[in-house]
Structure 1
Amino acid sequence: MSFPRARTAVAALLVAGATALVSPAHAADGHRALSRFDDGSFETPKAPANAFTNLTTGQTIGPWSITAGNVDLIGAGFWQAAEGDQSLDLNGSTAATVAQSFTTVPGTTYSVTYALAGNPGGGPAVRTGRVLIDGQNFQDFSFDVTGKTRAAMGYVGHQFAFVAQGASTTLSFGSTVAGAYGPVIDNVQVTECKPCCGG
């Protein structure tokens, strides 16, 4: 950042808004939050307040691994977060991919939700990227930063579902835009869909 500085999908669905999409225990829509998936708001480790920390391939952000490129972990106050204090710019000086593996039950449907914005500091107006499950592309995303500011990032909620193929699943987010101004993600949640609860 240079501020002055998948194929067993059940659905891919854009969800308006950037509110918390599930409760920690059990949501009314039949999805149950998973404790096995952790730190979807990139709160650990703490980046400096009103600043950011650049992290590169091979480093970690809590349970997340940086598998390509480099990212900027955005500290509290630098710009608006969707949830908690921190968020993640998927472009540090170049496009990056982050991944987290978590326990799943084969044949079970899971829902992934996340809040998307973009670094408003420069570069092309549209920030693009993709979400992958076990290396397969499940959802492409884009965000237009026109009119957005650090105080009003304009987060939009996204959602898709997948059927787990194994006892462990890897969720990845990757930028597909070049340069130092990338898509910003926050409030990533994975929930297990329970048909008996209407989900």
Structure 2
Amino acid sequence: MVGALAALATVTGAPADATTVRFNGGFETPAVGPGSFRTFAAGRAIGAWTVGGGSVDLAGRGFWQAAEGVQALDLNGSGPGAITQTFGTLPLVKYEIAYRLAGDPGGEPAVKSGVVRIGGEPAQDFSFDVTGRSSTDMGYVRKKVTFIATGLSTTVEFLSTVPGHHGPVIDDITVKSCLAIICHI
């Protein structure tokens, strides 16, 4: 039992290890110039994330309001895109992925939508209405999705389901393990 708990501590680490250093959920790297954005095509890396399909836009400081830090990610670059990341997990342990969601207020459609996939399976649909929002008042909401790991690693994917250049915006993604019904940060 002690060995299993030690293994859990090694895989999940302290919150800074799991969320800030390894997970890159704030999209602060690579740095994008102030007031601009950079488009990343399929196969390109954004910190610990990989663009899994289509393209995405990483917006720099001042392009629009970030939920955390100074950069945020639009899941639509030149069209709908996706990002993926694989991280260490322990089988039969429950994990919670939390993230901030808004939408690119620069164009249609008004309702931005997408899906979180875990291990290749849809885990959560999401949507955000940008009506009345602006680049300085994005209106981020906190979303959470939980899963029970089935292996020593798990792949999470965020993907857009809307056409065009203006999609859902995500930021401040964190992951934590949960023992029984209590989640530890």
Q: TM-score, normalised by structure 1?
A: 0.81
Q: How does 1:1-199 map to 2 (within 5 A)?
A: 25=14, 34=18, 37-195=22-180, 198-199=182-183
After superposing on structure 2, the runs of 4+ consecutive aligned residues of structure 1 that deviate more than 6 Å are none
Instruction: Please give the secondary structure, in 1, of the residue aligned with 2:124.
Output: strand
Residues 33 and 192 of structure 1 are in contact (CA less than 8 Å); yes or no, is this contact kept in structure 2?
no
Alignment partners' CA distance in 2, 1:112 and 1:162? 8
Alignment partners' CA distance in 2, 1:74 and 1:91? 12
CA distances 1:10-35 after superposition (whole Å, capped 9, x unpaired)? xxxxxxxxxxxxxx956xxxxx9725
Shift of 1:159: 0.5
Percent of residue pairs bearing the same amino acid type:
48
Number of matched residues? 170
Cα RMSD, aligned residues only: 1.8
Alignment partners' CA distance in 2, 1:39 and 1:106? 23
Q: TM-score, normalised by structure 2?
A: 0.88
Instruction: Give the counterpart letter for 2:172 in structure 1.
Output: N
Residues 66 and 97 of structure 1 are in contact (CA less than 8 Å); yes or no, is this contact kept in structure 2?
yes
Alignment partners' CA distance in 2, 1:103 and 1:146? 38
Higher normalized contact order (CA 8 Å, seq sep 6+, divided by chain length):
1
Instruction: Please give the secondary structure, in 2, of the residue aligned with 1:34.
Output: helix
Instruction: Give the counterpart letter for 1:80 in structure 2.
Output: Q
Alignment partners' CA distance in 2, 1:128 and 1:146? 14
Residues 47 and 53 of structure 1 are in contact (CA less than 8 Å); yes or no, is this contact kept in structure 2?
yes
Gaps of at least 5 residues in structure 2 are 1-12
User: Per residue, is there more helix in 1 or in 2?
Assistant: 2
Instruction: Give the counterpart letter for 1:53 in structure 2.
Output: R
Alignment partners' CA distance in 1, 2:97 and 2:151? 17
Alignment partners' CA distance in 2, 1:124 and 1:44? 28
Gaps of at least 5 residues in structure 1 are 1-23, 27-31
Shift of 1:194: 2.1
